Structure 1
Amino acid sequence: MNKTIHAAGHPLKGSLQVPGDKSISHRAVMLGALSEGDTHVTGFLNGADCLSTISCFRRMGVSIELDQHETEVVIHGRGLRGLQKPEEILDCGNSGTTTRLLAGILSAQHFDSMLTGDESIQKRPMKRIMTPLHEMGAEISSLHANDCAPLVIHGQSLHGIRYASPVASAQVKSSILFAGLYAQGETTVLEPTLSRDHSERMLRALGAQLDTRILPDGRAEITLLPGATLTALQEPLEVPGDISSAAYFISAALLIPGSDILIRNVGINPTRAGILDAYRAMGADITLENQRLAGFEDVADIRVRYSDTLHGTEISGAMIPRLIDELPVIAAVAAGAEGRTIFRDAQELKVKESNRIAVMVEGLRALGMRAEETEDGMIIEGQGPQLPSYAARIDTRKDHRIAMTFAVLAMAGGRESAIELIDADCIQISYPTFYNDLYRLIG
């Protein structure tokens, strides 16, 4: 489905609550299934990716109930050894999280299995998890010998390892730690810098013994002790709003004159909230209200006001893992700032649902903006406040984050702006009601 987004023409006003965090929703289903007892989840993200995770676990004998809105979920845990051999290939859809984390779990089961996904998943790199899982004793291979899905997994007994990951990736780390739940001996992951730590927080809450240390050189060392039994929480597991979804509203409010919005109940886990630091470094008017701890996650309401003094900055190094999914929309805001914004150390964007660096540079140029792709990032020459009118047809590459980013740019453009998004319905992956929520804020 294609969709044309027009300039807002008015400020964004009011408040909203974005859907639940995608990363936490995935992990709640997976670890809930491996726990003893029932896990009640509220605020679950009912996007296609998380529903793929539910589908996979149902095929392995886990009973999972959803309410009519698919935002409250009850997972009837079967314990670490309770999964059953699926009768069919497990289809992960478009979800890299489902594919990589589930591969770690399946590597230690008493049965064989196969993981596949859509065309995009079958192009995304899986060697990054296959290598450490092999070191743990797993038998996992790529069906087409190209280090991509479909993945063929022969369940084995595993042993713990000490693995230095070349990338700060929560998916790599979590795949290893989830396999480590079954391993003999300690499992340790070293990361160049700490990636999002939702898995670690949830594992601790469910009873696993896990230690995180930041080493003098800045690397993160995460160690899981063997022999854990996961026990379901007595109280509901509350999933906060996804800061990656909130990012589009934050960005739109910064770019559209006169805007003043409040986004309620957003997760601000320090390993995820890099976008707030980046925007503040650019001069954005963003404040946190009602800060609190919801379960084991940091939460706040985010107040955002239009900022006509945005300026360029450099985003690189340890900041990148804290905002990796938000980089496309940050690039969009950089186009509406004064001066140059440089993105470095962001080569991970090339292996997401699309090559997000190339797609962003191509799209910004189509709008008449100055953007340059580099080996590990991009350079955006800001247009300054009050973006001009533009008209373009943007191929989203079926990437939900590209679609939402250019929807923001369409609304922030001059009065005559209109952007046609090809495959605009790809937002179903993470935010099915995005377009409606965005239009609802127009004052």
Structure 2
Amino acid sequence: MSHSSTNLQFIVQPGGSLRGSVRVPGDKSISHRSIMLGSLAEGDTHVSGFLQGEDCLCTLKAFRAMGVAIEGPTEEGRVTIHGVGLHGLQAPAHALDMGNSGTSMRLMSGLMSGQAFDVRMTGDASLSKRPMKRVTAPLAEMGAVIDATPNGTPPLLVHGGCKLKGMHYDMPMASAQVKSSILLAGLYADGETSVTEPAPTRDHTERMLRGFGYAVKTAGNRISLQGGGKLTAANIDVPADISSAAFFMVGASIAENSELLLEHVGINPTRTGIIDILRLMGADLELLNGREVGGEPVADIRVRSAKLKGVQIPEALVPLAIDEFPVLFVAAAFAEGRTVLTGAEELRVKESDRIQVMADGLLACGVDAQPTADGIIINPGNFSGGVIDSHGDHRIAMAFTMAALRATQPVIINDCANVNTSFPGFVDLAARAGVRMATA
């Protein structure tokens, strides 16, 4: 991302309510994986609803750079991928730029470990600070050779021609990216590769591998596959991203006189922590028209204004809502009574230190927010408004946008260009739903 655009500002006037119906863009996790697996499948894969954010486009460009013919994305998010099979990728002429995307970097580390050629992967300033040892260490146990900086961060150099052997990995922490990276390397490994996770994490990789005809076994918290199989092209309809819908769920809950319908939202049970936590807080959320699309459960979600109450967030729900905490902190700021989060130290190594950055922003707006080592304590107060530094973190910027619905003064948010990484068109969609916002 060029630095000229990083000073994009959101200027949000206080008040407003959310009405009508909204379809947020496609799920980021599923969009990334559709390109990866479609490229390595045999035959043509057709994707609809693909998220055209910069993160997913980085994944798409990476496979194009390795010789995969990919058409699109069209305006409706249609992509056709002419798969080359598991062993059909070619050495890219340059380093693969993963932009701001931790998902791309970590999942590709696993996939690239099984190739015959070397690949160098780079990222933007934020991605270059994010921890990669959590994937490079277990991949090394399988026989991969991956060079990183001395502190284990990108850029990464994945050496080709390594013989991978299957292994069993007991994950020390719940992380879908680590799990996925190991399973994807397992496609290229001799024998069985299996992972045991300490708590459930998103299972899009397993579901999509099965959708492409690859046998994946799940027994309790152990997931396993055999190397040496093949992927067969499939059609994928990407549901709307629940992590993007989350901003509107909170916005419509806190703003008075709101009634909003969120259409075609993915409600994979490994991602619905946001719904469970908001319901614990007293939110009025109704799931309508439940159906299954391409192996993923989908529903329309109707949200109405509600009086929220502060809660102690159950630790079991933390991994199921890890990306939604910035906007959940905003819900807590307008609830009655204190909200306490523990067991969420992972938030400190996201696109920003989300605990500290959210606490700073809430404090700047007059809310008592006390960061702790692994969470936060929020005592709601008068949310006046103010100037927020999003630290280039898309989810922080969007969370404070929704807070303005109940602020007494304007909310000005700096450094918002990265919102396009996960939610292209956010400003227009939010304004159409009733947020009083403009950009500068």
Q: Hey, what does 1:380 align to over in structure 2?
A: 378
Q: Hey, what does 1:420 align to over in structure 2?
A: 412
Q: Hey, what does 1:217 align to over in structure 2?
A: none
Aligned counterparts of 2:315 and 2:269: Cα–Cα separation in 1: 15
Unpaired stretches in structure 2, ≥5 consecutive residues: 1-6, 436-440
Q: Hey, what does 1:274 align to over in structure 2?
A: 273
Q: Hey, what does 1:320 align to over in structure 2?
A: 318
Match of 1:181 among 166, 187, 203: 187
Residue by residue, what CA displacement relative to the aligned partner does 1:211-254 show, whole Å, maximum 9, x if unpaired? 1122xxxxx21111223210012xx3100000000000110001
Q: Hey, what does 1:292 align to over in structure 2?
A: 291
Q: CA deviation at 1:67?
A: 4.1
Q: TM-score, with normalisation over the residues of structure 1?
A: 0.95
Q: CA deviation at 1:8?
A: 4.9
Match of 1:352 among 350, 353, 371: 350
Q: Hey, what does 2:3 align to over in structure 1?
A: none
Instruction: Answer whether contact 1:254 1:304 (CA < 8 A) is retained.
Output: yes
Q: Hey, what does 2:228 align to over in structure 1?
A: 227
* Secondary structure at 2:222 match in 1: strand
Match of 2:155 among 150, 159, 172: 150
Aligned counterparts of 2:140 and 2:350: Cα–Cα separation in 1: 23
Match of 1:341 among 325, 339, 357: 339
Q: CA deviation at 1:436?
A: 1.1
Aligned counterparts of 2:300 and 2:14: Cα–Cα separation in 1: 24
Instruction: Answer whether contact 1:393 1:419 (CA < 8 A) is retained.
Output: yes
* Secondary structure at 2:209 match in 1: helix
Unpaired stretches in structure 1, ≥5 consecutive residues: 215-219
Q: CA deviation at 1:393?
A: 1.4
Instruction: Answer whether contact 1:36 1:79 (CA < 8 A) is retained.
Output: yes
Q: In structure 2, what residue type is equivalent to 1:225?
A: Q
Aligned counterparts of 2:45 and 2:406: Cα–Cα separation in 1: 42
Q: In structure 2, what residue type is equivalent to 1:150?
A: P
Q: In structure 2, what residue type is equivalent to 1:306?
A: S
Q: In structure 2, what residue type is equivalent to 1:267?
A: G
Aligned counterparts of 1:74 and 1:316: Cα–Cα separation in 2: 42
* Secondary structure at 2:434 match in 1: coil
Instruction: Answer whether contact 2:17 2:405 (CA < 8 A) is retained.
Output: no
Size of the aligned set, in residue pairs, is 428
Q: Hey, what does 1:301 align to over in structure 2?
A: 300
Residue by residue, what CA displacement relative to the aligned partner does 1:87-134 show, whole Å, maximum 9, x if unpaired? 101110111111010110111100111111101111000000011100
Q: CA deviation at 1:375?
A: 1.1
Q: In structure 2, what residue type is equivalent to 1:334?
A: A
Q: CA deviation at 1:413?
A: 1.4
* Secondary structure at 1:380 match in 2: strand
Instruction: Answer whether contact 2:15 2:404 (CA < 8 A) is retained.
Output: no
* Secondary structure at 2:418 match in 1: helix
Match of 1:366 among 364, 370, 385: 364
Aligned counterparts of 2:15 and 2:37: Cα–Cα separation in 1: 45
Aligned counterparts of 1:112 and 1:145: Cα–Cα separation in 2: 19
Q: CA deviation at 1:266?
A: 0.2
Match of 2:50 among 44, 47, 50: 44
Aligned counterparts of 1:240 and 1:422: Cα–Cα separation in 2: 30
1:25-36 aligned at under 5 Å gives the runs 25-36=31-42
Q: Hey, what does 1:439 align to over in structure 2?
A: 431
What's the % identity of the aligned pairs?
51
Q: Hey, what does 1:243 align to over in structure 2?
A: 242
Aligned counterparts of 1:74 and 1:167: Cα–Cα separation in 2: 35
Aligned counterparts of 1:153 and 1:87: Cα–Cα separation in 2: 14
Q: CA RMSD in A?
A: 1.2
Give 4+ residue runs of structure 1 displaced > 6 Å after superposition.
none
Q: Hey, what does 2:4 align to over in structure 1?
A: none
Aligned counterparts of 1:157 and 1:226: Cα–Cα separation in 2: 12
* Secondary structure at 2:114 match in 1: coil
